[in-house]
Structure 1
Amino acid sequence: MTFAEMLRRTCTTGGRDTRGTSEILGLVFAFALIISLIATSQLALTPVLNAGDEADHHHRVTADLATLDSAVFGVAGTDETGRFAVETDISYPERYLVVSPPDSTGTFATTGENDAAITGAVAVSQASAYWDGSSKTLGTTQTLVYTPNYNERNSERLHIESGASYLVTADGTEIVHRQSLIRGTDVSLVLLDGELGGRTVAGQSVRITPQSASERAITVRSTASDPLTLEVPTALSNETWQRLLANESAVQSISYADAGPGSDYGTLTVELAPGLYNMHLAHVTVGSPDAGGAIGAASLGPDDEVAYLSLESQNGTWVPTSGRETVVVRAYDKFGAPVSGATVEWENGSYGSVSAPDGAVTDERGRVSLQFTADDVSLNGPKSDSITVQVVDRDETEIEVAFEVREFDDGVDIGPI
């Protein structure tokens, strides 16, 4: 006899076994109540619990990305590689009575490739051989973007780009965490590039490698006739940049150009008031270097990377005939970082010749030591002399080193007083 038949027969006995009927009906109602509670929990309680899990995860990943953001700019100033964890995956815990959704994976990637440029920067040091006020394209830069994949929460994308880091909510609101492009008289421009696998999980990490970084800033001048101007690609809106830079007294004007339909990026142009500025420049790779990139060691050899040479020893050194003087030259790239492995060449002076006792290749600090040896000749008074040094086949890197050659007789300078 089936359960339905038993229930029907019991209900038609005219009350002769009401106790059995009550027990069976109670079981049926209890079972139905349990099913109803489970369904209600699945429909109402589970989204609330999942949203709470996602809020906790969002807090953790935001903290991770804030650490990563600080690390990118820290690595840019220390020239030290680092690894930093970013938890892009979220795991939903198992719960009684309800079914949790499967683990969710957000995407973590570099996007966009756009040029950053500086115009009107005139260095007040030997870097003026390169930073001479002309327009300089530093290279392409990308934006680091984390996009979560939640079941309940609206997606809030987190961005790290050359001049800022910020959150973009589902309704398009931009919440800025850092603005470092212009801070007083400090100008900071860190170019980002690289290839990411799209995800990392807790316990794994993102590698940050400085392709070009230096602790030293390049001091440059902005003038009324030729102002220092920055052109930076950005996904932040014009309105947000206007607000961020409104209280920076060094900012003389701001303009913004949309890239056009289909692009998320625009170009921010900032013109600075006359004065002296400290330029902090760097190129950092996040994840794996992009071998096809327009900047960095992956696409250039050491000789090509050198933007200018500087003289570490003082001009105007005097040398006795047949005497020697050590000349230390240092190679820098356009970011102001020393370049190792570059080969230099030279032209001898009129009264002496140059040699490279330790080789003509720059060391890990970008330095190469040369030796000027004055000729053993008779002179009619002190003679001004100079040598030129440059990177091999790179005339634009040439610098001149001046000497004065003097003749001595038994330790007495016989030149005119």
Structure 2
Amino acid sequence: MTFTNDTRGVSEVVGAILVFGVLVALLAIMQTQAVPAANQQVEFEHSQDVQGDFAGFHATASEVANSGDKQSVSIKTGTGYPTRMLFFNPPRVQGSLSTSENQTVTIENATATDPEVDDYLNGSDVKVDTRTLHYNVTYNELQNAPQIRYEYGILYSRFRSGTTVQNPGSVIDDTDINLLFMAGDYSRTAGDTQSVDVRPVSAPARPVTIEGEGNNDITLELPTDLPVSVWQEYYGDQSHVTIQNGTAGTVRITLDGDRRYTLRMAGLGLESGVDKPDAHYIVPAEDAVTDVGAGGNTSVIFEVRDKYNNPVAGEEVEIELDGNTQTVNTSSEGHAVMSVSPSTTGTAVGTIVGCSGGDRCSAEYDVNVLAPGGVINPSGGVRLQDAWINTDIWDDIGNFLNPDDSTGSGVTMEFNASNNLEFEAVRVNYYSPGGGSTPPDEWEMTDGSNTLSGEVSGEFESSNSLDPASNIQVGFVNGGDSYDVTTDDYFVMTVILSNGEQSIYFVSPRDNS
């Protein structure tokens, strides 16, 4: 048998092999170049999304610090890739959300203007705990992904090339100091969206007015991952603020001690079971004085606070008044309440049970019993018609108090007293200073002929009678110096008239310039 060469079909086979080879090559190119590029775009979009989620986290954290109510926020910590037929994707990207090790914030030389709060904020160092919230992620393709940080209400991202601040917060805003602290050892890693509960550990944030002890500067030493140059960029342009490197890993912020500041601090956690700070001090919840009339009743209210100056619930407080003692638990607002009636009078003392911190563990609340017929700003009898600032007060009164500095302003009061009634006894029940300043501790009052003087929230003074038909002048003293009354101030005074009736006057002076 003879065999012959036959080349039919060879070109088709070779062509098919070549087409298959080209297809494999294209798939390889797609797998090694196009797919990674597409995945890098997915990762970039996720990076943008998670930064947006943290902006929402910042807003939620601020709301929780102000309200004291738990809220939830979603953070897309990880991401995956779309399914691609014939191609392979790497595993899902997993991101981690965690808090740093515990760190200590130090506030130096700050003293409260409120005498009760001054039992705690008295110029000695105040140390409170905080942590930084970290978000870290390692992408398969995207390089130089940011590390997101959240501390003291500041949201920022750390890149290899530098730091970008998404929200600078308001740590120092003129004379407002706002410090938001993280608490609890939190760590979660996930490849999808996490629902994060933002829980109040110490909130809502109570404002406290502070100043430098002896007018010396106040300093804040804050542990931070943020470069000091960034702190200076956002906060260093205020004339009363100086920012420097502190000890290792801290920024030192110095505030002009001649100014007064409003301090707010709050603590937040991200899971249940975070230890809340213990009760640290107690203050009167309202004006530290209350009046009760015949047949009526009222309450004394104390507030228990922690080291962050915020209310503590469920704390035992012993309240003693006029020989009677009650032990009550504080409410969700940190309030310990005791009802009082006209049968009780004097000074109520509230003490935190089990507290061993000396003066800061107790506070006082005055209870005054009104005589029958006591009327506030009466329309009959002796009626207060007007009151205004008197800048020459210490020239107009007898000046028996003889203040060291007699430049302060007082008040002139005009009464309608055509019925010949006189003030037989006078008591200044309460003084509320505007702007959070320290209230005066003594008063002096004259009708131009006779003069009375006494202590604010003290007893009735009756050594002389005053004639309200003449303008009544009153000046105040604080710590031996004359007190400067402003239009933001008001005070309450009670008088016993010559007919035996009692009247109460709420005095809020106007400007007379």
What band does the TM-score fall into relative to the shorter chain? 0.7 to 0.9
1:280 maps to 2:264: yes
The C-alpha deviation readout for 1:38-80, integer Å capped at 9, x for no partner, is 1111111111111001011111111111111221122111101
CA distance in 1 between counterparts of 2:89 and 2:191 reads 19
In the alignment, structure 1 residue 248 sits paired with structure 2 residue 222: no
CA distance in 1, matches of 2:77, 2:260: 42
Q: Give the secondary-structure state (helix, strand or coil) at the position aligned to 1:72.
A: helix
Which among 10, 14, 28 is matched to residue 21 of structure 1?
Answer: 10
User: 1:80 is matched with which residue?
Assistant: 69
SS at match of 2:186: coil
What RMSD in Å do the two structures reach over aligned CA positions? Answer: 3.1
Choose from 116, 120, 125 the match for 1:130. Answer: 120
Partner secondary structure for residue 155 of structure 2? strand
Shift of 1:111: 1.5
Measure how far apart 1:187 and its partner are.
Answer: 1.0
Residue aligned with 2:363, SS = strand
* Residue in structure 1 matched with residue 488 of structure 2 by the alignment: none
Q: Which amino acid aligns with 1:217?
A: P
- The alpha-carbon deviation at position 191 of structure 1 amounts to 1.3
Separation in 1 of the partners of 2:127 and 2:175?
Answer: 21
Q: 2:351: which partner in 1?
A: 390
Higher relative contact order (CA 8 A, sep 6+): 1
Given candidates 222, 228, 232, the residue that maps to 2:218 is 228
Structure 1's 336 and 258: CA in aligned 2 closer, same or farther, altered over 3 A?
closer
Query: What is the match of residue 168 of structure 1?
Result: 158
The DSSP-based 3-state class of the residue aligned with 1:198 is strand
Name the aligned partner's letter for residue 264 of structure 2: H
- Using structure 1 for the length normalisation, give the TM-score: 0.78
Structure 1 position 288, deviation (Å): 4.1
SS in 1 for 2:201: strand
Instruction: Write the mapping of 1:378-417 to structure 2, written as runs, cut at 5 A.
Output: 385-394=346-355, 395=358, 396-402=360-366
Which residue of structure 2 lines up, in the alignment, with residue 360 of structure 1?
A: 328
Given that 1:353 and 1:372 are in contact with CA atoms closer than 8 Å, whether structure 2 keeps it comes out as no
* 8 Å CA contact 2:205, 2:266 repeated in 1: no
Q: Which amino acid aligns with 2:234?
A: L
Q: Is the alpha carbon distance of 1:42 and 1:354 closer, same or farther for their aligned partners in structure 2, counting shifts above 3 Å?
A: same
Q: What is the CA–CA distance in structure 1 between the aligned matches of 2:189 and 2:238, rounded to whole Å?
A: 37
Letter in 2 for 1:285: G
Return closer, same or farther for 1:42/1:375 CA change in 2, 3 Å cut-off.
closer
Secondary structure in 2 matching 1:57: helix
* Correspondence 1:209-358 to 2 at 5 A: 209-222=199-212, 225-251=215-241, 253-257=242-246, 259=248, 266-273=249-256, 274-291=258-275, 296-297=276-277, 300=278, 305-315=279-289, 317=291, 326-348=299-321, 352-356=322-326
Aligned to 2:48: 59
CA distances 1:324-348 after superposition (whole Å, capped 9, x unpaired): 7642222222323222222222455
Contact (CA 8 Å) 2:108, 2:220: kept in 1 or not? yes
Q: Distance in 1 between matches of 2:152 and 2:253?
A: 14
SS in 2 for 1:84: strand
Q: CA deviation at 1:162?
A: 1.9
Could you list the runs of 5+ residues in structure 2 that have no partner in the other structure? 373-423, 426-459, 463-495, 497-513
CA distance 1:196–1:386, change in 2 (3 Å)? closer
Aligned counterparts of 1:233 and 1:226: Cα–Cα separation in 2:
23
The structural deviation recorded for 1:216 is 3.8
Gaps of 5+ in 1: 1-11, 260-265, 377-383
C-alpha distance in structure 1 between counterparts of 2:195 and 2:343, whole Å: 60
SS at the partner of 1:85?
A: strand
Q: Percent identity?
A: 25
- The residue type equivalent to 1:354 in the other structure is N
Amino acid at match of 1:287: E
User: Can you list the C-alpha shifts for 1:361-407, whole angstroms capped at 9, x where unaligned?
Assistant: 2222222223556779xxxxxxx953432212434322233456799
Query: Which has the larger share of helix?
Result: 1
With over 3 angstroms needed to count, the CA separation of the structure-2 counterparts of 1:407 and 1:147, relative to structure 1, is closer
SS of aligned partner of 1:205 = strand
In structure 2, the partner of 1:150 is 139
Closer/same/farther in 2, CA of residues 163 and 232 from structure 1, 3 Å limit: farther
Tell me the distance in 1 between the aligned counterparts of 2:135 and 2:318: 47
